[in-house]
Amino acid sequence: MNELDQYFKVMFDYIESVYPMAEEDIQGCRSYMHPWYLKKDDFLSMEGKVPHYHHFIVSGHVRNYHYDHNHEEVTVDLNDGPRFFTSFNDFFQRTVSNENLQCVTDCTILRLHRDDMEAMSAFPSMNEYSALVMQKSWQDEKQRLIERTTLTAEERYCKLLRERPILIKQYPLKHIASYLGIHPGSLSRIRKELASANPSRSEVTIDLINS
């Protein structure tokens, strides 16, 4: 299996964990998606522009953020592969985005141009999968908003640590704090208190204290 075949295997394994794909759909998708290699701090798309590509993260970490009225960065999503990732509404509506999608590490991406979406709609299994992805995206965002008002700062952080521990090691504290809606100083205190209370979790707790 060559390198490109491996990239597509990662993507189709990810898709088929949610929805089974017909072989003809798999082959059709391959003809429209192309590899893209980015370095740490490179942008997949930037605010003030219409996003023209839908991305699948084969490997690496990407952050989605915008600026608030004080021109402070607000992180709205932290992503690690494998996963589809783009400014969904602006991509589908062809509107100017206020979001920045930036690599936090070197990344390998498979991307699809917006003009090829019509051709992709001919693949039934991709249509079904896309509908499921959009539904899950909306549900996740709704759940995150609920958690902002029902969970304490420590509970939100512990939930992230429990469910997506890899993010804790890959992203700076300020990005994690912004994503969770916690002041960086408060998150630093929470992390140190958790590390002190759980000395047996040495690998994680040392990382928390030193970050």
Write out pLDDT tens, residues 117-166.
878 777 777 777 777 777 777 787 788 888 888 999 999 999 998 988 88
Average pLDDT on 5-9 reads: 94
Average pLDDT, the chain: 86
Write out pLDDT tens, residues 189-205.
999 888 887 755 544 44
Q: Is the peptide bond before 124 cis (omega within 30 degrees of 0)?
A: no
Residue (of 32, 61, 67) closest to 46 by Cα position? 67
Residue 210's pLDDT band, with cuts at 50, 70 and 90, is: very low
CA–CA gap between residue 178 and residue 78 (Å, rounded): 10
The three-state secondary structure class of 72 is coil
pTM of the model: 0.83
Give whole-number Cα distances, 136 to 23, 104, 108, 113, 127, in Å: 24, 24, 24, 22, 14
Q: Are 92 and 120 in contact (CB under 8 A)?
A: no
